[in-house]
Amino acid sequence: MLDEGSTLLRRMEICIAEAEKRSGKTAMSMQETFTVYLVETRLTDAVAEGRSPAPNFLWRRYSEFELLRSYLMVTYPYVVVPPLPEKRAEFVWHKLSADNMDPDFVERRRVGLENFLLRVALHPVLSDDKILHHFLTEEHGWKEVVYETGFQAKADSRLRALNATFRVRNPDKRFLEMKHYSDQLQSNTSQLLRARARVADGLYGVYKVHGNYGRVFSEWSAIEKEMGDGLQSAGHHMDAYAASIDDILEEEEHYADQIKEYLSYSEALRAVCRKHELTQFELEMSSQDLVSKKQQREELATGIVRTFSLKGMTNKLFGQEAPEQREARLRLLEELIAEGEETVREKTAEWREHVEKACVEMQRFKEQTDRDLREALISYAVMQIGMCKKGVQVWSNARECFLKM
């Protein structure tokens, strides 16, 4: 359930009205077919004032949504940025097309992209971003505005993040718990989706068996004239029941997509944890480097070497440095220590800000997850119960037909 609060959704209506297939040439002059999505926005402030402004329309490709999300992840590393719908169909039952140009898949992706925009526009931090507003209102030139922010240069490499994961000395228990929560979320949702796909395959087979029953009863009615009406009616009930499976499984896909969203959310949550590990690792390395320089200054000032070093061994073999050299090294160390202290202060401030904001964000995300998944699973269970009741009703109707024969 989306709660607009004081976010962008209070000022603007956002929807993706339709999807359209187009053809064009790539940068390598190769022909390609792609899908574009019509983003429609309307300012609700003007509507509240009694004016009726025309809605704003613009077309966006999936890759443009990817660019927007990449920018948001780099710019707001403490935010669990909403995921995009899947680029290729996953966890599908065997009768469902995995073609990304399939009309049903394109429609589900349209719904998913609209949900992504609504979640971003609903977020208390992301909804105020100027680039997001450009994305929604400026069809041309918004990419240039994104690249001018220089966000790509700020992106952390996965190798650096992996290195930090294994080398950070004092991991924060809160973020360790959040990584565990993310792993559980991914495991549980993926297992649920696999089970649902298997059940859908079995369910499809059961319904199609009823189609066979309907055909048998219809053929039988042509042979047995006295029982013909009853058999024909029973066959019609079976045929209608068998035909309803397509609509049922299409509705199931809607609930499956909601669960897939949180499967993708688990990776967004881990990205926040990786950023914390990287920030903490950089702080630890800066602090360690500062301690090392201060120790070098003390050793140089007192002439007492506490740890083994190549420089200390050289001094023992070839004598001490000249006073001028020693003073120059001391001055250099003082400058380096001052720079190191400033770096540590900056890294500490960055680390503290990320921890504070990420903890608030993760609590908000947990509450959202519990609320959304509970709602989706309850709706799915209600749908299953209704489907079972319909099956009971079909066989009750068939029994009545048989009793009348």
Of residues 325 and 258, the one with the higher pLDDT is: 258
Average of per-residue pLDDT values in the chain:
84
Q: Which two tokens stand for residue 258?
A: 């909601």
Q: How far apart are the first and last CA of the chain?
A: 51
> In terms of DSSP H, where are the helices of 31-141?
44-48, 62-75, 103-122, 130-137
Q: Which of 62-66, 169-173, 221-225, 325-329 has the highest mean pLDDT?
A: 62-66
- Strand, coil or helix: 169: coil
Q: Where are the beta strands (DSSP E) in 263-377?
A: none
Q: Which long-range contacts (CB under 8 A, 24 or more apart) does 22-28 make?
A: none
**Angle between the 62-75 and 103-122 helix axes, to the nearest 10 degrees?**
30
Task: Quote the pLDDT of residue 185.
Answer: 94
pLDDT in tens, 50-89: 666 678 899 999 999 999 999 999 999 999 999 999 887 6
Task: Quote the pLDDT of residue 228.
Answer: 81
Contact by Cβ (8 Å): 136, 118: no
**Residue 36 clears pLDDT 70, i.e. is over it:** yes
pLDDT in tens, 364-402: 999 999 999 999 999 999 998 998 898 899 889 988 888
Of residues 105 and 59, the one with the higher pLDDT is: 59
**What is the arithmetic mean of pLDDT over 91-116?**
78
Residue 302: count of CB within 10 angstroms of its CB:
9
Provide the CATH topology of domain 171-301+329-404. Substrate Binding Domain Of Dnak; Chain:A; Domain 2 (1.20.1270)
pLDDT in tens, 323-374: 777 788 888 888 998 999 999 999 999 999 999 999 999 999 999 999 999 9
Among residues of the chain, what percentage have pLDDT more than 90?
Answer: 38
How far apart (Å, rounded) are the C-alpha atoms in residues 195 and 100?
A: 23
Task: Quote the pLDDT of residue 165.
Answer: 63
How far apart (Å, rounded) are the C-alpha atoms in residues 62 and 60?
A: 7
**What is the arithmetic mean of pLDDT over 98-113?**
83
Beta-ladder partners of 38: 18, 59
pLDDT in tens, 282-313: 888 899 999 988 888 887 777 666 555 555 55
How far apart (Å, rounded) are the C-alpha atoms in residues 381 and 74?
A: 38
Task: Quote the pLDDT of residue 317.
Answer: 45
pLDDT band for 121, please (50, 70, 90 cuts).
Answer: very high
